[in-house]
Structure 1
Amino acid sequence: MTAKPLIVFLDRETIGPSVELARPRFQHDWVEHGRTAPDEVVARLAGATIAITNKVCIREDHLARLPQLRMIAVAATGYDVIDHEVCRRRGIVVSNVRGYAVNTVPEHTFGLILALRRNIVGYRQAVIDGEWQKAKQFCFFSHPIGELAGATLGIMGEGAIGQAVARLGQAFGMTTLFAAHKGVEGLGPLYTPFDEVLARSDIITLHCPLTPKTRDMIGMAEFRKMRRKPLLINTARGGLVVERDAVRALDEGLVSGLGFDCLTSEPFVADHPFAATLERPNVIVTPHVGWAGQGAMETLWAQLVGHIENFQAGQPSNVVAA
């Protein structure tokens, strides 16, 4: 009798508790852990045929000690937590999920944009602090308010989420620019040169994967090219922006605000460069929840289970390494 495959989910707590985790429709053994520390990965995956991970890294030194592992299902689009080239050499299939966040991330992006552009955080605090009451008139003007209509939105990342962000921007009456990849020319008329997007945009929003080419994509050199003091929004991946430089750019007035849902350190740590900025009205940091709409999480899980079933049937899908 063939042994049932063992499926191990390393970080179940990264999927909201409101999501019911349907399991693959073939016989299997199932083990799930709320969270997994780096030094627990090998022990927990020992004997597993299929691993599920969202943010737990599975690196080369882990893979060398996991001879039975045949598939890694990543519960995210980004798969930088996996040494996928090593998986390719070892014949381990890596599948990710795609397209599940095409509504929720753009909506979160525009939630940040609207809150910062209209200074909603600052005005909310002013009411709490009694400043409106002291004004003794129906309104008062403690923070600038910008409109979206007529503004230029620079989008870095032309995938499904970037395209959805562009459509929302156009619905607000914005001019939308897709940035050419940094340092790359000849991508065609749909793209605007990277430096030109930096110079022309009133708002810059990031929707690209974290790769060796995109890591630290925006630092002081790029901030100094931002002529219109834009808002900078990151709902993609921590590591795309040199965060210490972002704070410096804010202090020097090179940008008008920061809206980040992704950081290099997750969860937030006390010595993070943003720590001293969190109470400023032009800084919003959210705990990597842009992707986590209820419908999006349900779609993510259904897609992930489908990839596992397809792998078991000999027809792997959404393969990023095989």
Structure 2
Amino acid sequence: MSNSPRAVFLDHSSLDLGDLDLSNLKQCFAELQLYPQSSKAEAIERLQGAQVAISNKVPLDAEVFAACPDLKLVLVAATGTNPFDLAAARAHGVVVCNCQGYGTPSVAQHTLMLLLALATRLPDYQQDVRAGRWQQARQFCLLDHPIIELHGKTLGLLGHGELGSAVARLAEAFGMRVLLGQLPGRPPRADRLPLDKLLPQVDALTLHCPLNRDTLNLIGARELGLMKPTAFVINTARGGLVNEQALADALRAGHLGGAATDVLTHEPPRDDNPLLAADIPRLIITPHSAWGSREARQRIVAQISENALAFFNGAAIRVVD
């Protein structure tokens, strides 16, 4: 590694909206080039002579690593490493470091926001007001959509790491009982319930687990069929954890009280995504924005800087195997 490393941020606009302080990050390198977005071909061109690549979602695979022999470090401006060929990185002697836990407060509050919006029927009442229905009411209020209280209800959590634990604490503050589900591919634990026992008990289910071979389509038609017809499903983790067609079908059939997701299988979504159909009731979709508070994005900058300096000092941290 050169004593004056050159770094390239391939998709800077995915992180910085012009509201972040990058001074500490810039001090880590002799040169830091920022590009709003990069295609694969552009990434290969821009990484020539660079020792460090910073990327949120620009894919880096064997072809990129082979074409960029000076590259020694990939700093992922996120937690997920799906866009990166980790085996190819290892084969080319490239270390990959990601960011962790930066978005816990932001994603946890977003999860509760979605749960509260479903419980209070916020989108429906907002639409009623905009359509002039309150002005036409015969009494002082509208109560056309049933509202439920979270107090005394049961929340099921799939994933009880830092983020899931934060959501559990917020839910308990609303008076909810929290149950933990057993994830497939994990050693059984006494405090985790198998899905078949968890799902029939919960009034809401939130997902906070990684997407892998064991968790792909973790919640499908069979699992949704085990849930109460009044229950909510909320996914702020990864698209692909919930089978999108099965969820659309369950909502149309009235087999769920509602659902909300901040993630879809393909992002940006394709027009044929089953959850984007206009006729699905009681569904809230947000555009993978749960993580995106300014505070959370600034924490990413801080962790990228920490990862870079640790690597240069010979003691790399947050290394992805």
Secondary structure of the structure 1 residue equivalent to 2:320: strand
* Contact 1:24–1:306 (8 Å) recurs in 2: no
Question: Any residues of structure 2 matched to 1:1-322 within 5 Å, and which?
Answer: 4-17=4-17, 18-22=19-23, 23-182=25-184, 187-277=188-278, 282-321=282-321
Cα distance in 2 for residues equivalent to 1:158 and 1:227: 22
Instruction: Encode CA deviations 1:250-274: one digit per residue, 9 max, x unaligned.
Output: 1122222121111122223322212
TM-score normalized with structure 1 length: 0.93
Instruction: Encode CA deviations 1:52-108: one digit per residue, 9 max, x unaligned.
Output: 111122123322322221111111111122111332333311111111112110000
Secondary structure of the structure 1 residue equivalent to 2:205: strand
* Contact 1:234–1:260 (8 Å) recurs in 2: yes
TM-score normalized with structure 2 length: 0.93
Q: 1:85 to 1:255 in 2, by over 3 A?
A: farther
Secondary structure of the structure 2 residue equivalent to 1:103: helix
1:43 CA displacement: 2.0
* Contact 1:16–1:292 (8 Å) recurs in 2: no
Q: Which amino acid aligns with 1:160?
A: E
Secondary structure of the structure 2 residue equivalent to 1:265: coil
* Contact 2:157–2:181 (8 Å) recurs in 1: yes
1:41 CA displacement: 2.6
Instruction: Encode CA deviations 1:2-33: one digit per residue, 9 max, x unaligned.
Output: 57322111111111321122224344221111
Moved more, 305-314 or 57-66: 57-66
* Contact 1:24–1:309 (8 Å) recurs in 2: no
Query: What percentage of residue pairs aligned between the two structures are identical?
Result: 38
Secondary structure of the structure 2 residue equivalent to 1:177: strand
Count matched residues.
Answer: 319
1:298 CA displacement: 1.0
Instruction: Encode CA deviations 1:116-155: one digit per residue, 9 max, x unaligned.
Output: 1110110111111121222220112211111101111111
1:280 CA displacement: 5.7
* Contact 2:208–2:236 (8 Å) recurs in 1: yes
Cα distance in 1 for residues equivalent to 2:214 and 2:43: 28
Cα distance in 2 for residues equivalent to 1:93 and 1:47: 17
Moved more, 266-275 or 147-156: 266-275
Cα distance in 1 for residues equivalent to 2:230 and 2:83: 33
Instruction: Encode CA deviations 1:160-191: one digit per residue, 9 max, x unaligned.
Output: 0000000001111111111111365x522221
Cα distance in 2 for residues equivalent to 1:126 and 1:246: 25
Instruction: Encode CA deviations 1:202-255: one digit per residue, 9 max, x unaligned.
Output: 111111112222222222122122234421111111121221221111112222
Q: Which amino acid aligns with 1:78?
A: G
* Contact 2:251–2:280 (8 Å) recurs in 1: no
Task: Structure 1: state its 5+ residue gaps.
Answer: none
* Contact 2:66–2:92 (8 Å) recurs in 1: no
Higher relative contact order (CA 8 A, sep 6+): 1
Q: 1:60 to 1:245 in 2, by over 3 A?
A: farther
Q: Which amino acid aligns with 1:56?
A: V
RMSD: 1.9
Cα distance in 1 for residues equivalent to 2:131 and 2:88: 55
Cα distance in 2 for residues equivalent to 1:219 and 1:137: 43
